[in-house]
Amino acid sequence: MVDSVKDYAIFMLDPDGRIATWNAGAEALKGYSAEEIIGLHMSRFYPPETLREGRPEKLLERARSQGRAEDEGWRVRKDGSRFWADVVLTALRDSQGKLVGYAKVTRDLTARRAAEEALRRSEERLRLMVDAVKDYAIFMLSPEGKVATWNAGAERIKGYRAEEVLGQSIETFYPEEERGTGKAARELEAAARDGRFEEEGWRVRKNGARFWANVILSAVRDSAGTLLGFTKITRDLTERRKLDQEQLRAAQADEAIRLRDEFLSIASHELRTPLTSLQLQLESVSERAEGLDGKLAARLERARHTAGRLSELIETLLDVSRISTGHFELKRERLDAVEICREVVDRLGEVAVSAKCPVTFVAEGPVVGEWDRLRLEQLLVNLLGNAFKYAGGTPVQVTVRKRGEQAEVEVKDQGPGIPESELSRVFGRFERASSRFHHGGLGLGLYVNRQIAEAHGGSIQGRNVPGVGAAFLITLPLTPGQGASGIMGPEATP
């Protein structure tokens, strides 16, 4: 029976350790035939390094003294190749107790050892890899949620060194208001129940600083399903969250501006429709009212005037809306600025009288250039309107002149001037320096003026003339050149 066993080398040694018997398994495992090996010492199977430490003798000695000796280690075949062997050596004694030899059973464990080694290496590699990961905290928790392992990423993100944190509850990493609320326990329960739990939320570093974390908890079970603990992977998303929120805020701000411009556009168009009908009715009624009671006619005239002002305000709003949506373009034609400005001054004669502002018009010769007629008129109408409003009762001077390749239109009043603190702001979108005066207006006229001037490639400036009043100077290139976008819009404004 022993002879036929192939998977084990089973043979006898004499009391000195020399081979006395040999079986098929021994021949298969070690490569020697019975004739070759019987009578030789068993140390022949040991590699040199084990011979140097006297391993065969020690084993024999242990078997002799203890009855049995077991060993695992490298052995050498006849052809010099090595195998990993499990060896059991049993001392054999006769009835008087005298040593008569040894039984030796050797098993080849090379394959098993290779598998174990591969597993060990793989575990080692995984451990090294996890240890080296810096961007993720990767660690193990006991089934109760106590920290069992720690990696470099965990140290970097959470700020604790391994020795400070091993054995601590994961609640340590939760914000104070969440500790003791059972949140951590619920999350572990969920991971145990579903295999996995993921969330984003605030966590706390050792120094107390909060960070926005993505956390994945996974249950770890053995083959029988017993919970061994959890792996926890934490990522610090604070920067990403900040970036996301900044993008969101920027998008919301853009959207708010878009909605405001859209509202402005819709509102001003909607306002214009009923006003059209109102103005037409008033005009028609006052025509028919001629010859009627003078008081009634005056009141109708006042209503028409009010409707006219309303209409102007709406037209200004429409301009602002066109500017902010980039929908306004200049219609340039060849014009004499002196002629246009003189017409405007004449047209506003009645208004000037009621504001008690005598207007002086100063111009030498024609100043011809290519501009948008209506917009050029609007520039002066707005400036004169402001002068009448803020400097009522004082003389106003309008000067039109050519300076190099530029036309200059200046409106000077002798009113209180513009407060110095407001000078830089009066051309902004919703600014009006003189809010302490009880004057109407949306404060958009100067903003529209600046847009008109800049669309022509020119500029508008306001200043105070010491001891005199306010002066506004419009400068327009005679011909469209560089810098004249021809389009009024936010992009035309630095």
Distance CA 11, CA 23 (A): 6
Kindly tell me which of 259 and 280 has the beta carbon lying closer to another protein: 280
Applying CB under 8 A, the span of 167-175, 234-242, 280-288, 468-476 interacting with another protein comes to 280-288
Residue number with CB closer to another protein (306 or 435)? 306
CA 219, chain centre distance (Å):
31
Nearest to 71 by CA among 35, 28, 115, 104: 104
Minimum CB–partner distance for residue 288 and another protein (Å) = 7
The secondary structure of 281-342, three-state, reads HHHHHHHHCCCCCHHHHHHHHHHHHHHHHHHHHHHHHHHHHHHHHCCEECCEEEEEHHHHHH
Q: How far is the CB of 272 from another protein (least distance, A)?
A: 6
292 binds another protein (CB under 8 A): no
Q: By CB under 8 A, is residue 279 in contact with another protein?
A: yes
* Residue among 323, 305, 318 at smallest CA distance from 271: 318
Options 276, 306, 354, 424; binder of another protein; rule CB under 8 A: 276
The correct pick among 192, 227, 275, 478 for binding another protein (CB under 8 A) is 275
Strand (E) or helix (H) holding 371: strand 368-372
Rg of the chain, C-alpha, whole Å: 50
* Residue 283 Cβ vs another protein, minimum distance, rounded to whole Å: 5
Rounded to a whole number of angstroms, the minimum distance from the CB of residue 276 to another protein is 5
Binding status of residue 168 toward another protein by CB under 8 A: no
Rounded CA separation 456/407 (Å): 11
- Kindly report the backbone phi and psi dihedral angles of residue 218, in degrees, each rounded to the nearest multiple of 5, phi listed first: -125, 135
**Which range in 52-60, 138-146, 282-290, 475-483 contacts another protein by CB under 8 A?**
282-290
Q: Where does this chain touch another protein (CB under 8 A) — which range of 101-109, 203-211, 227-235, 279-287? A: 279-287
Six token digits for residue 84: 């990993």
Stretch that binds another protein, among 30-38, 137-145, 275-283, 355-363 (CB under 8 A): 275-283
Question: Least distance in Å: CB of 311 to another protein?
Answer: 6
Helix (H, G, I), strand (E, B) or coil at 480: coil
For position 277 contacting another protein by CB under 8 A, the verdict is yes
Residue span 318-357 as binding mask against another protein, x where in contact by CB under 8 A, dash where not: ----x-----x-----------------------------
Alpha-carbon distance values, 160 to 120, 143, 150, 178 (Å): 28, 21, 9, 20
CB under 8 A: which stretch of 49-57, 58-66, 128-136, 284-292 binds another protein? Answer: 284-292
Q: How far is the CB of 294 from another protein (least distance, A)?
A: 21
Nearer to another protein, 33 or 276 (CB): 276
Out of 121, 210, 240, 269, the only residue in the binding site for another protein (CB under 8 A) is: 269
Q: Is 284 in the site for another protein (CB under 8 A)?
A: yes
Q: Indicate whether 273 belongs to the interface with another protein (CB under 8 A).
A: yes
Nearer to another protein, 90 or 325 (CB): 325
- Does 289 contact another protein by CB under 8 A? no
Task: Tell me: does residue 403 bind another protein (CB under 8 A).
Answer: no
Q: Which residue has the tokens 């001054």?
A: 345
83-91 contacts: CB < 8 A, separation 24 or more? 83/29, 83/108, 83/110, 84/108, 84/109, 84/110, 84/112, 84/113, 85/109, 87/59, 89/59, 89/60, 89/62, 89/63, 90/63, 91/63, 91/64, 91/67
Token output for 330:
């200049």
Q: Which of 311, 459, 461, 479 binds another protein (CB under 8 A)?
A: 311
Nearer to another protein, 135 or 283 (CB): 283
Closer to another protein by CB, 168 or 276: give it: 276
Runs of H (alpha helix) within 326-459: 337-347, 349-354, 373-390, 445-455
Question: Among 456, 429, 270, 447, which residue's Cα sits nearest to residue 374?
Answer: 456
Q: Which of 225, 274, 466, 467 binds another protein (CB under 8 A)?
A: 274
267 binds another protein (CB under 8 A): no
Identity of the residue, 61 or 343, whose beta carbon is nearer to another protein in the bound complex: 343
CA–CA distance, 367 with 364 (Å, rounded to integer): 9
Q: C-beta of 430: minimal distance to another protein in Å?
A: 24
Binding positions for another protein, rule: CB under 8 A? 269, 272-277, 279-281, 283-284, 287-288, 311, 322, 328
